[in-house]
Chains A and B, each alone.
Chain A
């Protein structure tokens, strides 16, 4: 029933669907490993999507659009960092506020662009390889965002495990008091980690509005920011598990679309909920097995130096 061409296209779209999540969750993972729980991912992502789209539409340059999206995500993350890190406010409340703010700002920025369309980021083709049956399009026919997400994954994995910067970042997330006593600038490190998270969320937003679905719609992130947050927990704060989680979500969300196409009589709302459901079930199962292991010990605790 499925021939190689369709299968190839399905696989390719799974990877594309997973990339937004992978980008956003990688950034959040870094922020959380440094000890800050930023619930503003959804907000930073949609601001990235709106600013990226507006810039690309105005300038005609996808690259400028992407850069603008990254800067916008970072800017919103600084709002969060200012509240949660420097004023030591409650991180959950500040994160939620950041998301709500982001949704509002993005709606405002995107309002003039409703109904417009862009030419999305082109697939980068490798002659010969892209035409391989089944896997060709998945591996060698993706846009730059997909490859960027994988490079970023490798960099974050290596950076956290093997570099001094990564070690210091993990230490700050593990015990900010101890890191402070050793003379590491806890709040500055956390701010940088949150900014990295904002940049990644902005990039994820750009992927949505400039490549995956190259148009603007006011709620186009559709809760992906929350799924990215859940993935970080589900991965037990390990970058490689993020890849598995993101691709699981991507696979279920693409497959349910095809199942809807078969007309099996299953309510479409239920099928649309499947990716979220599957991710949450996997999350609960894994956290039950690991019993909360891997969480940075200072996660979510504001740091106030006593002087």
Chain B
């Protein structure tokens, strides 16, 4: 292992996983994985989606029990039968999907995570203390449902810290944060390790890991690959360890002439239902044939509503607010919009883009039934359907077991290739994709981006909504930023920077805080 620190300066491992193995049916999620976290260090756990990081973390906190292998705590074997036990022993976890209750206040949420019984007023005071000490801004009496994703994460962190943990595990903490919020999280992590606590930092963002972490354990396909010093590695050498091969890059955009505007969004307003990110204010957007426009932003700022308004799932009162290929489409439903040769790929693959328990071939019908080719006079032409199905599978390299499995049996990457392929083969003039590569392995992600690039080159207008800023910077032509239901004017990628977009992602409010963070 790459270790540059002299052996006598090393503190003993605080929490150690030795040969943990966990099997789910046919899937070996963790295969003899070992990992040791020491006091006072920030340890990175690196791996692609599906590499087994979450499974490992769940076993380390008692949410899952390993099939074999053991945990050592302070050098002695230990079993955590449930998360309450591990928390009581000093292992706190902040999960990617927060264990928070929207209907309850911050202080109630915190109380639920603590073992003892404590009056809410004294607890609120303790929260304030913790907030000041670690620079986390959280208001105790607000309802969690009203908080932004970043604030929710801070609630989770405060809840963990009030249990005075010796080990804090952060599961993909920065995937939901603006660059500014990430910076302030890093400062908090440094304060924690400075106090002698250990932090396990799970991520697939290599730059962050190289900056923040002292050591890194890399997993791939459920197996332990290496333990390295991230500061001496390059981003590409870490990526090679994670992916197991050279990471494919999306070819740079080829310049081609832009055509007619395919999508015009004009003063689009949507009233919210009171929950966060459900309202849209005065959205303007123009996308012309041949270009890819990206919308960046932290989740929960109105992107889902925007997608639903564009796809026709959410009715828009003003007919002229959405114009698809010169036709006012505000009042049209999804099928009528598809008839205008628009294609939509929602964020949630299972349950929104595909029906989980229907066969893949039947899932083809979900968006093609109105095209007049596969369904005629209300009758499904099975041969045409199967032909289209085979074409999608072949051209988009969709891999699965069996001849025609249920959609839920496909891996995330393969299902996403299928869903994108289904839309692309409809020969659309406009494609709107929400989170095209969320939870997709690197090779499939590169394939999807290349496909969308190619469609744009053929004269299709493409709108990509993504939380992955690097992805947007890599393959879009212009980027707009969504914050609190408002959309900035799209700026050509060449004329903007991560920092500028990051500031816009935090909205005007955070922009002020951002200046002293830099």
Contact = CB atoms under 8 A, between A and B. Distances in A.
Given A182-B83, A182-B112, A183-B87, A175 B99 contact: yes
B63 interface: yes
B111 interface: yes
B103 A179 contact: no
Contact of B112 (A184, A291, A296, A297): A184
Contact of B99 (A182, A297, A306): A182
Nearest to B81: A183
A236 to B, nearest CB: 12
Nearest to A294: B103
Given A175-B101, A307-B65, A183 B117 contact: no
B172 to A, nearest CB: 15
Interface of B: 63-65, 82-85, 87, 95, 97-104, 108, 111-113, 117, 273
Contacts of A178: 98-101
Contacts of B95: 181
A95 B24 CA distance: 32
Interface stretch (A74-82, A118-126, A141-149, A164-172): A164-172
A134 interface: no
B113 A182 contact: yes
Contact of B103 (A164, A174, A182, A291): A174
A175 B99 CA distance: 8
B84 A170 contact: no
Provide the main secondary structure of the chain B interface. loop
Contacts, number: 57
Interface string A173-204: 01101111111100000000000000000000
A171 B85 contact: no
A270 B208 CA distance: 72
Contact of B111 (A164, A177, A183, A306): A164
Given A174-B102, A174-B103, A174-B104, A181 B111 contact: no
A174 B83 contact: no
A171 B104 CA distance: 8
A296 B101 CA distance: 10
Interface string A70-114: 000000000000000000000000000000000000000000000
Given A184-B112, A306-B64, A307-B64, A171 B82 contact: no
Contacts of B113: 182
20 contacts: A167-B104, A167-B108, A171-B101, A174-B102, A174-B103, A179-B112, A180-B83, A181-B63, A181-B83, A181-B95, A182-B87, A182-B99, A183-B82, A183-B83, A183-B87, A184-B84, A297-B102, A297-B103, A306-B64, A307-B65
A75 B41 CA distance: 54
Nearest to B100: A178
Nearest to A165: B117
Given A171-B104, A175-B102, A179-B112, 14 more contacts: A164-B117, A167-B108, A167-B112, A168-B112, A170-B103, A170-B104, A171-B101, A174-B101, A175-B99, A177-B99, A181-B63, A182-B84, A184-B112, A307-B64
Contacts of B112: 167-168, 171, 179, 182, 184
Contacts of A291: 273
Closest 6 CB pairs of A and B: A183-B84, A178-B99, A181-B99, A174-B101, A183-B83, A171-B112
B105 to A, nearest CB: 10
Contacts of A175: 99-102
Nearest to B95: A181
A166 to B, nearest CB: 10
A178 B95 CA distance: 10
A178 to B, nearest CB: 4
B140 to A, nearest CB: 15
A158 to B, nearest CB: 15
A177 B83 CA distance: 12
Contacts of A179: 99, 101, 112
Contacts of A297: 102-103
Contacts of B85: 183
Contacts of B100: 175, 178
A291 B271 CA distance: 15
Contacts of B104: 167, 170-171, 174
